[in-house]
Amino acid sequence: MPRYAQLVLGPAGSGKSTYCSSMVKHGEVIKRTINVINLDPAAEHFDYPLYADIRELIEIDDAMDDEALRFGPNGGLIFCMEYFEKNLDWLHEQLGDEEDDYFLFDCPGQIELYTHVPVMRRVVEQLQNWNFRVCGVFLVDAQFCVEQSKFLSGMLTALSSMIQLETPFIHVLSKVDVLSKRDKKRLKKFTDPDVYQLANSELSNKFLGRYSQLNKAIASVIYDYSLVKFFALDMSKEDSITNLLDEIDLSIQYGEDFDVKEPKEIEDNAQDEFHDDE
């Protein structure tokens, strides 16, 4: 049977670790074991148990404190991820060989890793070789996207990552639960937007007329790749998490290889549970 993986992606501060924590807790509610693997060598704190941690292989301080390297934070992070890419056997050993495992990979927030540095694409390819069905979950802070220009910027970043990784993507507006009522109303037009209208409404007022064609070209790129829908995630509502997980499960075909129970078997199991309750 296949195994399943979510790559939790997005800029720094978009709520990736909070998302992983909420998914782990939700998994406990629905009786599904969801394991989290940290792929951020600069991470410091987690409020959920880690199945594996890249910091056991290399940490950001290893690159920054080395006298021969002397990297800054950004260069050090890329160095760590390239070192990780060269040592994917470590990840394979951590994952083991169990079937039907469900993993979340909590990834770094440095956007270069998903747009033009090939590290994460190599990770995706290797996971697929190990019989994983992989889905990218790209988080964008909803507080950042209540203005048209910022929303288009977030969409283009998500599109670039999707093209680079070549895997199914679910795009999520995170932190909806912290928005004001006014901003929540404004957000509705961004969950399934008319990108041509967005590109020409606010931007056309701020740029010279000669940039209108650029705005239309940006909208065309977004539309052609069908990247026109974001899922608004409200962590305070269990139904919101359930609906998002259903979308993700559908994209990776989670559960399609499970044994189908016959009606008699289902009835017998139900009766057993009833008697156990008595």
Encoded tokens for 172: 């999520």
Q: Burial level of 273, CB count in 10 A (0-12/13-18/19+)? A: exposed
Dist CA 249 CA 260 (whole Å): 17
Render 175-222 in DSSP notation, one character per residue: -GGGS-HHHHHHHHHHHS--HHHHHHHTHHHHS-GGGHHHHHHHHHHH
Name the β-bridge partners of 173. Answer: 140, 232
Dist CA 256 CA 249 (whole Å): 10
In tens digits, the chain (278 residues) has pLDDT values of: 889 999 999 988 888 999 999 999 999 999 999 999 999 999 888 888 999 999 999 999 888 887 777 788 888 899 999 999 999 999 999 998 877 789 999 999 888 888 878 899 999 999 999 999 999 999 998 887 777 777 777 888 888 888 888 899 999 999 888 888 888 877 777 776 666 666 666 554 555 456 677 777 777 777 776 666 788 899 888 999 999 999 999 999 997 765 544 444 444 554 454 455 55
Using DSSP's 3-state secondary structure scheme, residue 8 falls into: strand
Kindly indicate whether the domain formed by 3-175+229-252 is annotated with CATH number 1.10.357.10: no
User: Looking at residue 273, what is its pLDDT?
Assistant: 46
Q: At what angle do helices 88-95 and 119-129 cross, to 10 degrees?
A: 40
Please state the domain extents for the chain: 3-175+229-252
User: Looking at residue 57, what is its pLDDT?
Assistant: 95
User: Looking at residue 206, what is its pLDDT?
Assistant: 54
Length of the chain: 278
pTM metric for this prediction? 0.83
User: Looking at residue 35, what is its pLDDT?
Assistant: 95
User: Looking at residue 201, what is its pLDDT?
Assistant: 62
